[in-house]
Structure 1
Amino acid sequence: MRGGRVEGVRFGDDRVTAPFVIDATGANGCLRWALGLGVSVRSPRLTASYGYVRRDDGPPPRLEGDEHGWTWTAQVGPALAHWCRLPFCGARSRVDAPTLLRRCPAVGGVRAVDVTWRRVHPAAGPGYLLAGDAAFVLDPASSHGVLRALLSGMRAAQVVVDVLAGGADPVLTAHGYDAWIRAWFEHDVERLTRLYDQINPRWSCGPAVHDPQQRARA
């Protein structure tokens, strides 16, 4: 940092300076920690569990919802099926594979990831931009996490080009990028809320106490 502006990245004793830093470090968000950025939480605590099993004739891609959450299953390769389960109402513990796949040999263990809906703000500022999950996180039912990563990376790169080569105002472009991220996040939050209300109108137990920084340190 110099004069309140991000001017590069330090790796141990090494430094890489640059006019802009694009943070694509995922949900851990390196710049979120370094700059003490805010986090807006829009759901209860949500933890998705997932895993893989060996199965030759696995299920076709299928998303099933019930009052307790949803389950996704799909054949993803030769003799390899994937499953993912998201319980509602802030369940924190990992869950087992769905009944259809429970007797199949597991490939690796069950994994769990925090997919609580949250947005880091501002997503752009003096010398930096946040892309992908470093900017905001939604659960897998939003269905376009990879697309979001690609498009936000492209948009962030275009901001850099506009400022460095096109002479655009860096403050205005940062505000524009942050507004674009916020609008995308709010749009997907609305879509997911409508979907879950159809599955179970009482799916939300209210926003959980959520401190992403404290949990990540743990």
Structure 2
Amino acid sequence: MKSDADIIVVGGGPAGSAAAIHARQSGLTVIVIEADGQPRRRPGETLHSGAASILEQLGVREAFEHAIGGRYGSIQVEWSTARSSDRGSIPLAAASGFHIFRDKLDAVLIERAETLSADVRRPCRALRPIVRDQEVVGVETDSGPLEAPFVIDASGNGNWFRKSYPSRVDVLSPRLLARYGYCRVDDLRDFGSPSIKGDQSGWQWIARVSDDTLAWVSLALPGASARPVKPTALAALADVSPTRGADVTWKRADAYSGPGFFLVGDAAFQLDPAAGHGILRAMMSGIMATYQAAAAIKGRVGPDEAAQLYRGWMAEWWRRDTSALTEMYLRLDATWDRSSSTREHHQSEAGA
């Protein structure tokens, strides 16, 4: 059967849009399947200055500059234990970082993909991967089947692909719950830089995402007596929206890629927000997956080698981030232990 595109991307967030943009920049045809008609409001994001080069590569730097809510040049840190306390400011190595609402970031990226003639289909739901002879060859959608040499799952932690394809999820931390919200503020002088404050009960993050709005995230460590709550420093400020929660337990797919597929962003693995660069990882993994898919399509490498190279790249990112997070949490709680992993199995008839 004739393919509908070179690549099908499921999900129009930062990972999926970056994959679609890079596919078009590489001369490939791409279909993006996005369930939401318009970008949804998600937690505000603070991007490190290192994201600037990726935004430049994707061709969205100018549009992004018009959408940001502010800039910052350092991060205020207070990381305390029973024995010691690290206090101070961490300056950025290069240019200042960015504050932006996620719906604005998503809009900038997906509009860039459309400008490059990516076929963005929204609202459209991906139902299940199409598997033939143990190889993923397309996606069954609520509008009918679509086929392509490669499918990229950028659906986030909804686990769209893993729920329908024989796979396993490794859970590699205690259960972690984050809560987040937004506050209105008139005087931003006390909130010029993002701040993170950690102690034996957990940590809290505060960052400005617009001229009059602060975003906060709070996470309680396992065994803490109190669940994560709105930071005390913001108690007197009016909430813009209800407090929400998210399960941010560390999870990873047993295979980041395989015959005909790549998993990118949180679809590949999920860490809690203290890792500090979830959006950067999402965009870079989308680009890397498309780079390997393009190399296979154009005959520069075989499909198996392309999948193997991507798996190794993602495995190294996981190793670096989890090592850094473990070191951070051990400084707050000497009993922190992620050594006893569990596994969630998602079996299906996809290959039948």
- TM-score normalized with structure 2 length: 0.57
**1:43 CA displacement:** 0.8
CA distance in 1, matches of 2:294, 2:338: 44
Q: What corresponds to 1:199 in structure 2?
A: 332
Counterpart mapping for 1:45-60 below 5 A = 45-58=175-188, 59=191, 60=193
Cα separation, partners in 2 of 1:66 and 1:183, compared to 1, 3 Å: same
Q: Per the alignment, in what secondary structure is the counterpart of residue 240 of structure 2? A: strand
Equivalent of residue 321 in structure 2, options 158, 164, 188: 188
Equivalent of residue 35 in structure 1, options 143, 165, 188: 165
CA distance in 1, matches of 2:252, 2:216: 26
Deviation per CA, 1:55-85, whole angstroms, max 9, x where unpaired?
Answer: 1224331100010100001222122111110
- TM-score normalized with structure 1 length: 0.89
Deviation per CA, 1:154-179, whole angstroms, max 9, x where unpaired?
Answer: 11001111111034111122122112
Q: What corresponds to 1:141 in structure 2?
A: 274
Letter in 2 for 1:28: G
CA distance in 2, matches of 1:68, 1:209: 24
Counterpart mapping for 1:68-217 below 5 A = 68-89=201-222, 95-204=228-337, 207=340, 211=344
Which segments of 5 or more consecutive residues in structure 1 lack a partner in the other structure?
214-218
Stretch deviating more after TM superposition (112-121 or 51-60): 51-60
**Percentage of matched positions with identical amino acids:** 38
Stretch deviating more after TM superposition (184-193 or 81-90): 81-90
Structure 1 segments, 4+ long, off by >6 Å, are: none
Task: Report the RMSD for the aligned CA atoms in angstroms.
Answer: 2.1
Q: Per the alignment, in what secondary structure is the counterpart of residue 136 of structure 2? A: coil
CA distance in 1, matches of 2:345, 2:210: 34
Which segments of 5 or more consecutive residues in structure 2 lack a partner in the other structure?
1-130, 347-352
Letter in 2 for 1:168: V
Cα separation, partners in 2 of 1:19 and 1:208, compared to 1, 3 Å: closer
Give the structure with higher Rg (CA): 2
Cα separation, partners in 2 of 1:102 and 1:148, compared to 1, 3 Å: same
Q: Per the alignment, in what secondary structure is the counterpart of residue 44 of structure 1? A: coil
Q: Per the alignment, in what secondary structure is the counterpart of residue 7 of structure 1? A: strand
Tell me if structure 2 keeps the 8 A contact 1:94–1:110: no
Aligned pairs, number: 212
CA distance in 2, matches of 1:109, 1:210: 33
Tell me if structure 2 keeps the 8 A contact 1:7–1:20: yes
